[in-house]
Amino acid sequence: MRLFVGIKIEEKVVKELSKIQEELKKRSKGVRWVKKENLHLTLKFLGEIEGNKIGEVEEEIKKGIIGEKRFELSFERIGYFPNERRPKIVWIGIEEGRDNFIKIAERLNKRLNKFRKEERKIIPHLTLGRLKYGGEVVVNDQNFKTSSFWVTKVYLIKSKLLETGPLYTVIKEFSLS
């Protein structure tokens, strides 16, 4: 199974993010925008995990979030990977809740590294779209901002890749204190 640990986005914020995507669509071409039902935050991508290892993954997630409290999170500012001159991914950054997100992501990364090692620096973001070859996005105002919402749970999510895009299914949820 293709798995990741993530955070679901509250519906009112999903609507705000969809409006930001609509605004960006007016000034872009060749971008595959993430469907609103698929907008999420990834804390740790695990990739392909054998079914008999899921119990072990769940235990490591539980241990990784022990003592972590719920927190408020909001999004602000558009960014690009790898950079603005040659963007392949357009994203919006985490503003409020940034430190909490990084702390949990780092803890989960340490606990889950035996399943998939990740050396990259954590850049708290939500992917809005992926640029096809020759695609472009023109952002005049990078200071888009959303309302905040409470993060009270993290989720182990299965990702099935289909021709129409990924299909996400929650395997298990884990409550923050």
* Exposure of 53 in the CB half-sphere (CA atoms within 13 A): 13
The closest alpha carbon to 98, from 126, 135, 138, belongs to 126
The closest alpha carbon to 13, from 151, 116, 112, 175, belongs to 151
Angular region, 97: left φ>0, alpha ψ -120 to 50, beta rest: left
Per the CB < 8 A criterion, the answer to whether 21 and 128 are in contact is: yes
Residue 85's Cβ-count burial label (10 Å; 0-12, 13-18, 19+) is exposed
Q: Mind telling me the catalytic residues? A: 40, 125
Beta bridge partners of 128: none
